[in-house]
Chain A
Amino acid sequence: MDGIHDMGGMDGFGPIPIEYNEPVFHAEWEGRLYAMNSALGALGEWNIDAGRACMERLAPVVYLQSPYYQRWLYRMENILVERGLVTPTELTAGTPEGAAREPLSTDEVFGRLRASRSARVDQPVEAKFKVGDAVLVRNIHPVGHTRTPRYVRGRRGVIDRDHGVFIFPDTHAEFKGESPQHLYSVRFTARELWGPDASETDKVYLDMWDDYLDAD
């Protein structure tokens, strides 16, 4: 979706907020939220693409006004309801309506996280492109999740390397299958993306799936 999360190239956010010697978590609740996210992830009720899609559905003004882990909180509440693990009433009341299940133990959580599979798919899928091919990123505007940022759509690049076959996030995010296909590192010149005032030597690389690309 053409959401606020797609920030590449936007102006107006100011300087980089560099903090030296920063702690891992700036408050205890951030750590609890981070841990809840990992432990819930181990339940396997959603995948990483669905989690990102849920974040992207936050209203733009909420997204912009909320610090990082606060966005995680809103996303967690929303996806728990969407996946039917928690009801809106339970969220409001803070108490469960039905019987409790047996939670995963610490060892089970870590075991499942360690065993979580890569997005690489071990299937023989034919590649549409080879290293060195000129490609044009499709001018697509899907209403659902996509990993093709606006700033590369309609731009020309070159296949720099073929990473092999990977899960396609656009369908996976909506629980519509893995649609395994080749994933490439695509090289763009800074001038192709940002115009004649950009550096003539600099490059930008993005990982792009077959379904994002046409031959140029």
Chain B
Amino acid sequence: MTNHDDHSHLSDTELRVRSLESLLVDKGLVDPAALDAIVDRYENKVGPRNGARVVARAWSDPAFKKHLLEDASAAIDSLGYTSTQGVDMLVLENTPSVHNVTVCSLCSCYPWAVLGLPPAWYKSFPYRARAVKDPRGVLREFGLELAPEVEVRVWDSTAELRYIVLPERPEGTEGFTEEELAELVTRNSMIGTEKAANPNAGDS
């Protein structure tokens, strides 16, 4: 009922959006060139590759990783990914015994500045409703089965703090360059619904 009809109202909604944009332009509330630039920024410039580079740096550079876990906003800014969202960042480290996963049950808070716009499933009612109560069931739908002794930590984003998961570095990646490592860092692994890609499993 909620997720399969994302396009069924397209024509009515599209007309209403066009009418609203035309009104806002005519009133001088927005400049269409600024709208073009914002769309271009999110379609072509900001995205999960930025977060992947942050993770790859943390895997390669212990001092950077320490900085990232202690003061994520400053560490991320030091790589040049300044926030356009005005929020503080928190990085959550996955280990063999702890798995972190992030959600926003009340709306759809997400680290836009570092991961780009969220995937539709992150904003969906099933994810918002279930991640806090049945995280293991949710992760199973992403193909991730965690052992009962692994502690699952769900982070429900209620404040102006944005979470990024630092996934575990895959085994067999000794000697990989930062660029090669970044290729293994999927968007979902930084949300916490997957592990980083395993280069030996042929799925990278």
Contact = CB atoms under 8 A, between A and B. Distances in A.
Nearest to B153: A203
Contact of B129 (A7, A100, A105): A7
B62 to A, nearest CB: 22
Contact of B31 (A64, A105, A113): A105
A19 B3 CA distance: 11
Contacts of A40: 24, 29-30
Interface string A25-52: 1111101111110111001000010001
Nearest to A207: B159
A115 B19 CA distance: 30
Given A8-B106, A201-B150, A32 B39 contact: yes
Nearest to B117: A24
Contacts of B125: 7, 10, 13, 64
B132 A9 contact: yes
Contacts of B85: 116
B42 A85 contact: no
B35 A36 contact: yes
A48 B39 CA distance: 20
A197 to B, nearest CB: 11
Interface stretch (B8-16, B52-60, B164-172, B196-204): B8-16
A124 interface: no
A103 B105 contact: no
Interface size class of A (residues with CB under 8 A): 35 or more
A34 B39 contact: yes
Contact of B124 (A17, A77, A94, A169): A17
Interface residues of B, number: 82
A25 B43 contact: yes
Given A9-B132, A163-B161, A29 B138 contact: no
A203 B24 CA distance: 46
Q: Among A5, A32, A151, A203, find the residue whose CB has the most chain B CB atoms closer than 10 A.
A: A32
Interface in A141-190: 147-149, 151, 163, 166-167, 169, 183, 190
Contact of A201 (B3, B142, B148): B148
A6 interface: yes
A52 B133 contact: no
Interface in A34-81: 34-36, 38-40, 43, 48, 52, 55, 64-70, 73, 76-77
Contacts of A118: 73, 86-88, 160
A122 interface: no
Given A101-B28, A149-B156, A14 B88 contact: no
Q: Among A17, A119, A149, find the residue whose CB has the most chain B CB atoms closer than 10 A.
A: A17
B129 A32 contact: no
Interface string B76-108: 000000101111100000000000000001111
Nearest to B156: A206
A202 B154 contact: yes
B2 A64 contact: yes
B123 A205 contact: no
B107 A52 contact: yes
B153 A32 contact: no
A96 interface: yes
Interface of A: 5-11, 13-19, 22, 24-29, 31-36, 38-40, 43, 48, 52, 55, 64-70, 73, 76-77, 85-86, 90-91, 94-96, 100-106, 109-110, 113-114, 116-120, 147-149, 151, 163, 166-167, 169, 183, 190, 193-194, 198-199, 201-209
Given A13-B129, A36-B30, A203-B154, 16 more contacts: A7-B129, A13-B126, A26-B7, A27-B14, A29-B18, A34-B39, A64-B1, A64-B125, A65-B1, A73-B17, A109-B34, A109-B38, A119-B87, A120-B160, A203-B153, A207-B157
